[in-house]
Amino acid sequence: MSSNDAYSSFLDQANQDTGASKSSASAKAATTKSVDTEVPAGLLSVEHYYTSEADEPFEPVSLQWDGRNMPSEKEFAKLIGHGAEVTTMTTKEFDPREQYKEVLQAVGNAGEGKSSIFRVGHGKTRVEYYVVGLDKGKGRVVGMKAKAVES
């Protein structure tokens, strides 16, 4: 009977919250701007997850943009308030298995039919993927983003 008590005590101690994970997780959180203007209704209804080691949901993006064309990598980094690595990707690179068709279609409908994909690096293993299109009529970049962990 004391063997069970000792094991139970061991499990209780092992499962206690040390508080260490809270501070390290918040220190590594990716923070970029994704909404500063009205989000198109069609993007609010998309419920899709990006498959990675984290399986995070896609979230709406709607940012004011006065440009006539999609922003460049540097312009996009400035738009989202990110000072490091931003690269563009093709649809095939982003979605080789064609599992994000719903996201791509919703972005195409919210914008003007064409979408761009930006990969935003946050250190060695954390990234955000922005699938965005241009809404010239309302002066904004609209779309979806998802966080990913890639090791």
Q: Where is mean pLDDT largest: 1-15, 18-32, 90-104?
A: 90-104
- Tell me, what's the pLDDT at 96? 96
Q: Are 94 and 68 in contact (CB under 8 A)?
A: no
Q: In which band, very low, low, confident or very high, does the pLDDT at 60 lie, cut at 50, 70 and 90?
A: very high
DSSP per residue, 21-62: HHHHHHHT------BSSPPPHHHHT---EE-SSS-EEPEEEE
Say which residue, 119 or 113, is predicted with more confidence.
119
For 67-109, the pLDDT digits (tens) are 999 999 999 999 999 887 899 999 999 999 999 999 999 999 9
